[in-house]
Structures are given as C-alpha cells and as structure tokens.
Amino acid sequence: MDRQIRRLGIALIVLFVMLFAQINYIQVFAAEDLINNPANARRLIIQQFEVDRGDILARDGTVLATSVPTEGELKFLRRYPERDLTATATGYSSLIYGNADLEKSYDPYLSARDESLIPVTLIDQILGRPKRGATVVTTIDPKLQEIAEKALGNAAGAVAAIDPRSGDVLALVSVPSYDPSDLSSHNPKEIRRTWDQLNKDKDKPLLSKANEELYPPGSTFKLITATAALENGYSRSSRWPNPPELDLPLTTNTLQNFGGTHCAGGASSISLEQAFTESCNVTFAEIGLKLGAKRLLEQARAYGFDQDVPFDVPFEEGHFPEVAHFEEADPLLAFAAVGQDDVSSNPLQMALVASAIANGGVMPRPRLVTEVRAPEGGVLKSFGPAAHSTAMSPKTAADMTRMMISVVNGGTGTSAQIPGIQVAGKTGTAQHGDGENPHAWFVSFAPAEKPEIAVAVVVFDGGDLGSEATGGAVAAPIARDVIEAALR
C-alpha cells in the first residue's frame, strides 16, 4: 500500500513539473512565435482580453488605470478613471493600436507575461479564475496634477514637478490631452474614429508636451550658461560690459535685451548676478561668446541634454548643437547662450535642471514608478531613487540658488513669490517663429533653503497675453500655485 501511494505521489509530482514546464515554455519561450503567427490573431486578441490586466496607481493609491469585467467576448475592458488628467503617465491600451507609455513599458507585468508572475498564473489556472496582471505604483500626485492643469486653464502648455531629492515625478501635465478610455473601447469603429481625430489635431494631444516634444527654452537656458560661467572661473560678482545692444561678430546684426531695455539702469558694466536677475540677453550672449561652444555644450550635457536619461515613458531630452554647428565667434553662439538658435528643451528636462541645482549639483534620475506589486499584494520589484549625473560643484549650486532667489525676490520672477516660502526661479520668454507669440517659461524650486519640489512650466504662444507675454507674468504664477499646493 505504501509503495502504491509513493508511486502515485511521484507520478503527481512528475505531472505537476510537466505542467509547470509546459506553461513556462508557452508563456516565455514560445510566446513570440505564437504571437507572430497570423492564424492565431483573433484567438490571441480574445486571450489578451481574458486577462484581468493589472492596475496603475498614483502614489496615494488613486486608480489611474484598471480593468473591469464585461459580458462580451472580450472579457475585460480597460478604463481610466482620471480620464485625460493622467494620460501623460498611463498612456493607453488599445485593441487596435497597442499600448503606449506605462501601459507599454510595463506591459509584461500588467498583462501577467513576466516570468515572476508564472506561479501566480499557475494558481489562477488551477483555481479556474482569470489570469491576473501585476499592479504598477507610480509617483504621480493626482491632486497636484489637477492643480497644475487648473492653473494652466485654457492655455496650451505643460508642467513638470519633481521631488529633487529622489527624482520622483509628482506631476506631468500636458494641455491639450486626451482620454485613454476612448482608445480602449471594444468598438473598432469608435477606436478608429477617435484615433483619426487625435492625429488630425494640429496640437497633437497624443504627445505629451511635458516630456515628448521640444521647444526653445528662451532665458531659462541662462541657468545652463550661468552654471558654465561659474564652473569655469567666473563668480556672481564678475563684471561684464553692459552696452544697450551687442554687435555680433561676422555680421551687421545686433542682439538686444528683451524689449530693447538697457540693463542695470544704463551702467557701463554689470555683475553676473545682476544680469541673471534682470535676465539680460546682451550680457549672457557675451558670456556665451567668451566661454565658447565647447564649454556650453559640456555644461548642457552635464544637465542631461542630448543624453540618454532613463525614464519610464518616452522622454526627449533637451538639445544643444554640436560644436561644429558654430564657426569660431559665430553669432549663432550668442543666441544659443540665451536659449534661442537651435537650442530646445521641455518642462521635464528643465525641472531636472532645477533639481540638480536644488540638490547641491547632483541631478537625480527621473522616477515615475516606485514598485510593481503581485496580484496578491506582495512587492515583485521596487525601484529606488538614483543619481543620473553631477552637473556642477556644490559651491556652484549654492551660487546658482542665490541668483535664482534674487530673480524671485526682486527680478523678473516676482509673481512666483509665496508668503513664508522662499522660491528660487528663472523666467524665460522664447521666440519661436516669425509673427508667432513667444512661449512663456518659468523654472523653479522651493523652499530654496531645503528644496522639496522643483517645477518647470511652459505656456505656448503667451497664453491669454499673446505677444505681450513674459515668463514672469504668465508662467511664474502657475509654478507658484503648484509649489504652494505641494508645500501647504
């Protein structure tokens, strides 16, 4: 009798191992061949929607994406409770057009195809319940996201907010946006109609303005130019000639300050800090020409421009031209030093610049996901904070902070002031085409003495102020609202 029981036990163990090996083979090793077989297309679509796809959560547990059961052939329907508010993070999961953003980058976990979920899937199959995906937990603060969107109002633009200590992306807002639920419908006609409308829209709502596209940063790029000056032997008190306009080399053209003003009340010279506070184009063009293209390029790259900065969703890092773009003493370098010419960036990149200054010179790696949880709740994988690069020395970071405080306390960024909270910031007003209204920028962090949040804002075409827009008048109040909400 004992021998029979032992044989039966061994047989059951062998069958269990064979079953486990078969599931492992199908899900891992043969999965790609099965997926690419045209004969399996319809069956695979049905199988895909038999999975209870995992949730995507905000940092506070708010559900950003979830699957709900249906009575149809496709057993689960993807829904996005926050609709267009958090589409920049979640992306979409579509029957026809596949996945985007977190739905794409974490698809192996969400769809239960990752190796780590094989034991859970096996148990689900034994118990006869739907296959369940893992939960992805993000760093997004939905309340801050809502405040940033409300602060933008009807204006097209974007906001990125980061905790400079950890690199956690607290808000990533793009206006206009879209509702991912419209693309996750089970109605092919509805999906295609929505897709066509979104792709025909000249404002390209499917692309996040906060992290996927690039724009001239205007005077916010003076953060990089000023850092390069401080890192190469100049100080906040270094004096520079202060003409009302700059005669550019190799051309009869000149470069002027914003509005044609003469900085420092018309004095013959001006300090680096005063030029930064007043955002003097002439001075920073002089600085750029003096430093040369190589040093500016090196500093931009130290801040992550043109580098592969890891991020959980698509990220177009800022761009600064190669040295070959500039001939010796080329006037284009003067414009590049003030954030024009072929220089481009976006709010996420500029929030990282602010974070590096706020963090004593160390630029954090941006983080959008903190952990992946198993369907039963245990942590499958966690992602800790990490540094991406050292952008400057601690002394330079301290000097940059002092100059950014000066901008908010008595310069072009006074609209960002918050009673009881010292804000550090830099304004920008960026030209981007003949006859076009300028983009308005503001890059900031607070509290300046112990930073907890860095915020970058861009408002396209000057918002309601149009041609009269400045970064201080249009973008700074938006950053102020986001900072105050985060800290209060």
Identify each DSSP E strand in 394-436 by its residue range.
424-430
Question: How far apart, in whole angstroms, are the C-alpha atoms of residue 60 and residue 142?
Answer: 8
Question: How far apart, in whole angstroms, are the C-alpha atoms of residue 429 and residue 432?
Answer: 10
Residue 300's CB: how many other CB atoms inside 10 A?
A: 27
Longest dimension (CA), the chain: 106
Q: What is the identity of the amino acid at 443? A: V
- Torsion angles phi and psi, residue 465, rounded to 5: -85, -15
Element holding 365 (H helix, E strand): none
Catalytic residue among 94, 105, 219, 271: 219
Contact at 8 Å (CB) between 284 and 338? yes
Contact at 8 Å (CB) between 360 and 397? yes
Q: Which residues pair with 259 in a beta bridge?
A: none
Contact at 8 Å (CB) between 397 and 357? yes
Question: How far apart, in whole angstroms, are the C-alpha atoms of residue 480 and residue 400?
Answer: 19
- Torsion angles phi and psi, residue 104, rounded to 5: -90, -50
At 130 the three-state DSSP class reads coil
Q: How far apart are the first and last CA of the chain?
A: 74
Q: Tell me if residue 279 is catalytic.
A: no
Active centre residues (catalytic): 219
